Amino acid sequence: MSFPRVADVVVIGGGAVGAACAFYAARAGLSVVVLEQGAIASGTSSACEGNILVSDKEAGPELSLAQYSQQLWRGELAEFGHLWEFESKGGLVVSARPGTQDNLAKLAQRQRAAGIDVELVPGGELLGLEPHLNPRMAGGAYYPQDAQVQPMLVVAHLLRLARGMGAVVEPHTTVTGFLRRGDAVTGVATSRGSIDAPAVVNAAGTWGGAIADLARVSVPVLPRKGYVMVTEPLPVMVRHKVYAAEYVDNVASSDAGLQTSPVVEGTGGGTILIGSSRERVGFDRSFDPRVLSAMAGKAIGLFPFLAQVKALRGYFGFRPYCPDHLPVIGPDPRAPGLWHACGHEGAGIGLSAGTGALIAASLAGTALGMDATAFAPERFDAHLATESAHV
Ligand SMILES: Cc1cc2nc3c(=O)[nH]c(=O)nc-3n(C[C@H](O)[C@H](O)[C@H](O)COP(=O)(O)OP(=O)(O)OC[C@H]3O[C@@H](n4cnc5c(N)ncnc54)[C@H](O)[C@@H]3O)c2cc1C
């Protein structure tokens, strides 16, 4: 088929978020073209884990988006769940010390008030949920709504379903600039020619800031590097997503230095995924085995049997991080015709469903499924203006 020259919507980025935007926009009856500079899912969506979590989020707009996304994964997307290995496995957050458990109980109380299902688990009952857990844990909290998917299958199948509704997907096509009429965006220039489109969605993940620059607007998306270690396949030893309570603090932290906290979960294939690390080192692609050692040591602290298990490999990716830890979702009033759907940091697989649905509703001019004000692209300009007013 020849390269498309016109569309209702161009989506830049063939990761989980771009795929969800394309799926929902096509379902809303719009003609969609997805442009991806590399192979499909070659960005962070193939260098991550696939958790759909509510447990690691404080009450607030990100948790609301996670709840909205949960409704979609478990509701209208449920018929496709088997395609992307959706597993409603539940999450178990554990505390090594009583003081940490007190803080976890307070977090659980705030989350419960926001509508999350969470049960505190006394230390003595943890082994009933996870028989191979270190028996010396002080307590935990169980989140039945936490789930897991295989992220690359999410991308592949959402794009396949979108294609079935008429969308066109063009891998190995780089967006190099925007077509403009005054401030308005009227299409894109690409490595394979230009496409006219009244709406362009920036779903370029960690590269979303660079795409915004091409449109002469500012969206501060930065890379936050993270590693994952993969063990040899085993019979089921870890039943839930299990992580230490300190992980929640690391997620919320803006520290640039290396932070590691133990996160352990099984997969359908039998391998165990071990995380997590966070550091802001730009797009540094060097592989540092010391980070994997730190993660492995902490994971063994949670599950001592891991000391006897072989690691098969490790990989890293760059989370798309915004300074306020919230994604950027919605139309950009500074460049009419441009929408953003990027900056989801460590939660873009889980949040992709809600993001795609919000973007499609906004493109189609229908009611949004939730209040998206907190994700407005221009919020950073307002912040800069306030800061300079105080100088
Ligand atoms: C170690 C690690 C663990 C994680 N675990 C989880 C988890 O358990 N659950 C979860 O929800 N999230 C997790 N995340 C976060 C998640 O991976 C990201 O938030 C998500 O993948 C972002 O998806 P995206 O579609 O926005 O970006 P991406 O998947 O990066 O897609 C953006 C695409 O845009 C393309 N692109 C960029 N510039 C251009 C251009 N000029 N022209 C054309 N295409 C372009 C890129 O090539 C890329 O493929 C994790 C991340 C890491 C690093």
The protein residue with its alpha carbon nearest to ligand 1, atom 49, reads 43
Q: What is the mean pLDDT of the chain?
A: 95
Cα gap 343→209, rounded to integer Å? 9
Share of the chain above pLDDT 70, in %: 97
Q: If you measure from the C-alpha of residue 391 to the centroid of ligand 1, how many angstroms do you get, rounded to a whole number?
A: 36
Domain end point (choices 321, 349, 371): 321
The protein residue with its alpha carbon nearest to ligand 1, atom 12, reads 347
Cα gap 225→317, rounded to integer Å? 6
Mind listing the pLDDT tens digit for each residue in 7-31?
999 999 999 999 999 999 999 999 9
Q: Does one domain contain both 344 and 313? A: no
Closest CA to 44 of 155, 125, 134, 137: 155
Q: If you measure from the C-alpha of residue 342 to the centroid of ligand 1, how many angstroms do you get, rounded to a whole number?
A: 9
Sign of CA dihedral 264, 266, 269, 270: positive
Residue 3 lies in a domain: no
Q: Does one domain contain both 14 and 133? A: no
pLDDT band at 253 (very low <50, low <70, confident <90, very high): confident
Residue 61 lies in a domain: no
Sign of CA dihedral 131, 135, 137, 139: positive
Give pLDDT, residue 251.
75
Give pLDDT, residue 342.
98
Cα gap 320→344, rounded to integer Å? 6
Sign of CA dihedral 231, 232, 233, 236: negative
Overall number of domains in the chain: 2
pLDDT at residue 133 greater than cutoff 80: yes
pTM above 0.85, yes or no: yes
Q: Does one domain contain both 137 and 231? A: yes
The domain that contains 371 carries what CATH number? 3.50.50.60
Identify the burial level of 311 via C-beta atoms within 10 angstroms of its C-beta, where 0-12 means exposed, 13-18 middle and 19 or more buried.
Answer: middle
Domain end point (choices 321, 341, 370): 321
Residue 81 lies in a domain: no
Q: Which residues line ligand 1 (CB under 6 A)?
A: 12-18, 35-38, 42-45, 47-51, 174-175, 203-207, 211, 226, 228, 317, 319-320, 342, 344-350
pLDDT band at 1 (very low <50, low <70, confident <90, very high): confident
Residue 380 lies in a domain: yes
Q: Does one domain contain both 232 and 312? A: yes
Q: Helix (H, G, I), strand (E, B), or coil: what is residue 254?
A: coil
Tokens of 117: 């299902």
Any idea how long the chain is?
A: 391
Q: Does one domain contain both 181 and 290? A: no
Cα gap 147→268, rounded to integer Å? 13
Give pLDDT, residue 61.
98
pLDDT at residue 330 greater than cutoff 50: yes
Q: Does one domain contain both 239 and 139? A: yes
The angle at the Cα of 88, spanning 243 to 350, to the nearest 5 degrees, equals 70
pLDDT at residue 159 greater than cutoff 50: yes
Q: Which residues contact residue 198 at a Cβ distance below 8 angstroms, ignoring those fewer than 6 apart?
A: 8, 186, 337
Query: Which has the minimum average pLDDT: 155-164, 271-280, 325-334, 374-383?
Result: 374-383
Closest CA to 77 of 26, 1, 23: 23
Closest CA to 101 of 88, 91, 92, 89: 92
Domain of 328, in residue numbers: 9-48+151-221+324-389
Q: Does one domain contain both 261 and 176? A: no
The domain that contains 114 carries what CATH number? 3.30.9.10
Mind listing the pLDDT tens digit for each residue in 255-298?
888 999 999 999 988 999 999 999 999 999 999 999 999 999 99
Cα gap 203→218, rounded to integer Å? 15
- Averaged over 76-99, what is the pLDDT? 97
Give pLDDT, residue 383.
52
Q: Which residues contact residue 184 at a Cβ distance below 8 angstroms, ignoring those fewer than 6 apart?
A: 335, 336, 337
Give pLDDT, residue 244.
95
pLDDT band at 129 (very low <50, low <70, confident <90, very high): very high
Q: Does one domain contain both 346 and 359? A: yes
The DSSP annotation for 277-327 comes to EEB-BTB-----HHHHHHHHHHHHHH-GGGGGSPEEEEEEEEEEE-TTS--
Residue 75 lies in a domain: no
Q: Of all atoms in ligand 1, which is nearest to the CA of residue 176?
A: 41
Closest CA to 358 of 78, 345, 344, 346: 344
Q: Does one domain contain both 252 and 381? A: no
8 A C-beta contact, residue 7 and residue 340: no
Residue 74 lies in a domain: no
Mind listing the pLDDT tens digit for each residue in 38-81?
999 999 999 999 999 999 999 999 999 999 999 999 999 999 99
Domain end point (choices 300, 321, 342): 321
Residue 157 lies in a domain: yes
Mind listing the pLDDT tens digit for each residue in 356-385?
999 999 999 999 999 999 999 999 986 555
Residue pointed to by tokens 């085993």: 234
Q: If you measure from the C-alpha of residue 101 to the centroid of ligand 1, how many angstroms do you get, rounded to a whole number?
A: 32
The protein residue with its alpha carbon nearest to ligand 1, atom 2, reads 48
Q: Does one domain contain both 168 and 127? A: no
Residue 349 lies in a domain: yes
- Averaged over 232-239, what is the pLDDT? 96
Give pLDDT, residue 78.
98
pLDDT at residue 388 greater than cutoff 60: no
The protein residue with its alpha carbon nearest to ligand 1, atom 15, reads 346
Residue pointed to by tokens 């395609």: 83
Q: Does one domain contain both 130 and 236? A: yes
Q: Does one domain contain both 230 and 310? A: yes
